[in-house]
Amino acid sequence: MTSPPPLNGIRVLEFAGLAPGPFAGLLLADYGATVLRINRVTPGAHTSTLPPPTPDLLTRHKSSIAIDLKSRSGIALLRALIPIVDVVIDPFRPVVLEKLGLSPEDVLLKLNPRVVVARMTGFRRDGKYAAMAGHDINYIAVAGVLGMLGRKGEKPYAPGNILGDFAGGGAVCFMGVVMALLGRERTGRGQVVEANMVDGSAYLASMPRLAMKGPMWDEARGENFLDGGCPWYDTYETKDGGYMAVGALEPQFFAALLKGLRIDPSSLPGKREDRSTWPALADLFTKTFKSKPRAEWEQVFDGTDACCTPVFSQAELEAAGFDQRPIVTLKNTPAKAIIQSAKDVAQGQGIGVEGQGWSSMGLSPGDGGEELLGKWMGWRRGRQYELKDGGLVLQQQQSKL
């Protein structure tokens, strides 16, 4: 028998932001936290005809209220919520919260000494780029990570925004929040969690960075074992335009790869450890993989230890009914379900969400937020707060308290 998700009962205020902040909030929501997203004022918010969802797609299991952060009564409403929440996610550039009168140390932690304030920035707050705008590509660039990625003789290649925004940003921020909550169990005190994508992505690159002092990664970009330089750790096009991924690093796996490709080891251009043979070996693999469609290569390598697998597209997986799952399985306290009617704890627990991890219905400003205010605070519109110009404000008599 399973118990509720591990973060059940944790209350989170998430200021609307770009990818990493909402992703941290998504992780918290998936693992049971109640996440209230703070959106900007929007015409139609909190009415029977809600405005269209915001561009943010990372809104699963969340609710929303719209607040005018430039309004004193809007800020007053927000301050009134701080004493009853556990986590605040700040996705803004440095000093934005301070300018709003919501300094974590001077205001938020005084209003609620147990609150965890997670501050997510791109650049380091104490670095030369602190005041500059940037995106994932900039953060992994100054972290020394982007310079490691790309083919031989070509410019550095950014892997989408997965490494900075999501891995080094949102996921690291989530981990910091969970550690701070664990620390609070011992000390009774909240704290500020400082996360940034420079440090996050640099830390994720610990292994390749350290490997640069040895033979695994001591050559130029694109000439190493794991960055596309090694012919038995690469991708190859098939006859029908598909691709196979090869990761046969160990000798026994390499032998299984050759067996599947029907290549006689004695016909190789030389010892595989000899880097001078790599171009010829890569050409041999390229020609061999091009001789059959991907489906046939799948039949050859499925069930073997050749470390050779098809490269699936997201569209293929969706069409095949691949089940999207939470990031990690907790056997006794699983996350909330992503897919409908999940029965296996690996898929989470509960009803699931529309789209089943393949599409997002988004979240409209004001959707579900007032119901949550009623549960958290016992508030009702017209008593403790009002709707004004597309956002909620605290009643004047409440603001003076």
Surface-to-core class of residue 35, CB atoms within 10 Å of its CB (0-12 exposed, 13-18 middle, 19+ buried): buried
Q: Which H or E run contains 309?
A: strand 308-310
Give the residue carrying structure tokens 């990570």.
145
β 385-388/391-394 pair status: antiparallel
The Cα 5–Cα 34 span in angstroms is: 11
179, 182, 187, 188: CA torsion to nearest 10: 110
What is the distance between the terminal CA atoms of the chain, rounded to a whole angstrom? 46
What sign does the dihedral 118-123-124-129 (CA atoms) show? Answer: negative
Surface-to-core class of residue 200, CB atoms within 10 Å of its CB (0-12 exposed, 13-18 middle, 19+ buried): buried
Could you tell me the CA-to-CA distances from 73 to 68, 69, 285, 373 in Å, in that order? 8, 9, 67, 16
Among 147, 308, 165, 332, smallest CA distance to 238 is for 308
The Cα 26–Cα 107 span in angstroms is: 26
φ, ψ dihedrals at 218, nearest 5° = -100, 5
Q: Would you state the structure tokens that stand for residue 244, as one six-digit string? A: 């196979």
Apex 26 CA angle, 32 and 354, nearest 5: 85
Contact present, 111 and 82 (Cβ < 8 Å): yes
Per annotation, catalytic residue among 165, 199, 234, 367: 165
The Cα 194–Cα 397 span in angstroms is: 36
Contact residues for 343 (Cβ-Cβ < 8 A; gap 6+): none
Q: 142 in helix, strand or coil?
A: helix
Angle, helix 369-377 to helix 72-81, in steps of 10 degrees: 50
Q: How many CA atoms lie within 13 A of 163 on its CB side?
A: 22
The answer to whether residue 165 is catalytic is yes
Give the residue carrying structure tokens 């450890």.
273
- Catalytically active residues are 165
